[in-house]
């Protein structure tokens, strides 16, 4: 089947095939791959591909690993990873840390939609404290 235009339907099929092939490659080399959000126009598409060594990461994302390693610099704990909090009446889960984002280094996903958002350290500390208390 030849694709003439990219759309959500054919990208879901492409993602599925891509993930199957990446699993074969990953098993061969001991790497777990993750295909993140695919962005597209009518004639082009791109996505971010993550690869982690299977032995060390047990399928954790790079963002989660960064969080565990560097969260103390931001006054957070490794146990805050995957912690849920509420912002604007929506529930989010902390999924990682992007150190290069100075203003908004905490990455969290909307629990219902799975869409990722970035938050400042102050926002997270305030919201996590509210959820604890």
* pLDDT tens column, 56-94: 544 467 788 889 999 999 999 999 999 999 999 999 999
CA–CA separation, 22 and 27 (whole Å): 8
CA–CA separation, 61 and 57 (whole Å): 8
Question: For the chain, which ranges sit under pLDDT 70?
Answer: 54-60, 128-133
Asked whether the beta carbons of 65 and 53 are under 8 A apart, the reply is no
Q: What are the φ and ψ backbone dihedral angles of 47, each rounded to 5 degrees? A: -150, 165
- Residue 42 token pair: 């009518």
pTM for this predicted structure? 0.57
- In CATH terms, the fold of domain 62-132 is SH3 type barrels. (2.30.30)
Q: Where are the domains of the chain?
A: 8-57, 62-132
């Amino acid at each position: 089947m030849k694709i003439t235009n990219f759309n959500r339907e054919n990208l879901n099929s492409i993602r599925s095939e891509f993930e199957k092939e990446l699993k074969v490659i990953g098993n061969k080399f001991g790497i777990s791959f993750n295909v993140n959000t695919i962005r597209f126009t009518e004639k082009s598409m791109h996505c971010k591909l993550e690869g982690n060594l299977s032995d060390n990461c047990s399928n954790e994302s790079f963002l989660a690993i960064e969080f565990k390693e560097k969260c103390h610099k931001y006054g957070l704990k490794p146990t805050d990873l995957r912690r849920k909090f509420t912002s604007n009446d929506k529930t989010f889960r902390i999924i990682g840390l992007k150190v290069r984002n100075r203003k908004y280094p905490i990455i969290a996903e909307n629990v219902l939609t799975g869409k990722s958002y970035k938050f400042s350290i102050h926002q997270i500390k305030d919201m996590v404290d509210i959820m604890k208390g």
